């Protein structure tokens, strides 16, 4: 039986797109649901393009009910992937899916992680610190922002003159290259 992936995203969903593309031709796993807290998120259009169902939820539904957990359980989801999802995962969801929720962070953790550290905030902090390299971290999710066990890191060099757009581009190249593969490897290690 194919492993089943659910993706949470809050925005454009370029990583969600790469994951959907990767597993569309897989005999091992499939993306069965896209979830978002943002009814305007472009990821909804991407899900529609792949004919993958989507669920939009409110803050109240996510934190004060078990609706999202029930939905994921009913779909027999094996792995939850956070791909540009900005809310802290509630303890109830972590408990329902222990070691089955992973996240992508656009920096080399433990540097530049924590509450409020996402997207351009991360890249601007890296630039301000005059770092010589940055990269991506794929990690398990726990009850704190960006503190779960690290599964994978990839680096890129920051050249003199690299601006925000260049750093974002380099990071995104690594995300698109590595995220689907790390997910695939993790699913292979999971017991059926």
119: three-class secondary structure by DSSP: helix
Instruction: Give the CA distances from residue 155 to residues 1, 13, 22, 192, in Å, rounded to whole numbers and listed in that order.
Output: 35, 22, 22, 32
User: Which two three-digit tokens encode residue 169?
Assistant: 């581009």
152 catalytic residue (yes or no): no
Q: Following CA atoms 114, 119, 122, 127 in sequence, which dihedral angle do they give, to the nearest 10 degrees? A: 180
- Judge whether residue 191 has pLDDT over 80: no
pLDDT, position 145 = 95
Confidence grade of residue 184 (pLDDT, cut at 50, 70, 90) = very high
Which residue among 105, 123, 152, 178 is the active-site one?
105
Q: What is the pTM of this model?
A: 0.97
Structural domains of the chain sorted by starting position, each given as residue range(s) with its CATH number in brackets: 3-104+138-153+175-189 (3.40.50.170)
Please report which confidence band the pLDDT of residue 192 belongs to, taking 50, 70 and 90 as the band edges: low
């Amino acid at each position: 039986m194919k492993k089943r992936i659910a993706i949470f995203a809050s925005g454009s969903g370029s990583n969600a797109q790469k994951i959907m593309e990767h597993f569309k031709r897989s005999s091992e796993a499939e993306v069965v649901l896209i979830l978002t807290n943002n009814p305007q998120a472009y990821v909804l259009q991407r899900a529609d393009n792949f004919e993958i169902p989507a669920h939009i939820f409110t803050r109240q539904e996510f934190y004060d009910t078990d609706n999202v957990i029930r939905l994921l359980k009913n779909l027999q989801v094996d792995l939850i992937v956070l791909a540009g999802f900005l809310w802290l995962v509630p303890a109830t969801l972590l408990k329902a899916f222990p070691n089955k929720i992973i996240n992508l962070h656009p920096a080399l953790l433990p540097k530049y992680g924590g509450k409020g550290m996402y997207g351009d905030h991360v890249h601007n902090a890296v630039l301000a610190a005059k770092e010589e390299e940055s990269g991506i971290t794929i990690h398990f999710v726990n009850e704190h922002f960006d503190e779960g066990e690290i599964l994978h890191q990839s680096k890129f060099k920051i050249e003199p003159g690299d601006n925000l757009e260049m750093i974002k581009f380099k990071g995104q190249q690594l995300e698109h290259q590595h995220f689907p593969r790390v997910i695939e490897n993790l699913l292979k290690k999971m017991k059926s």
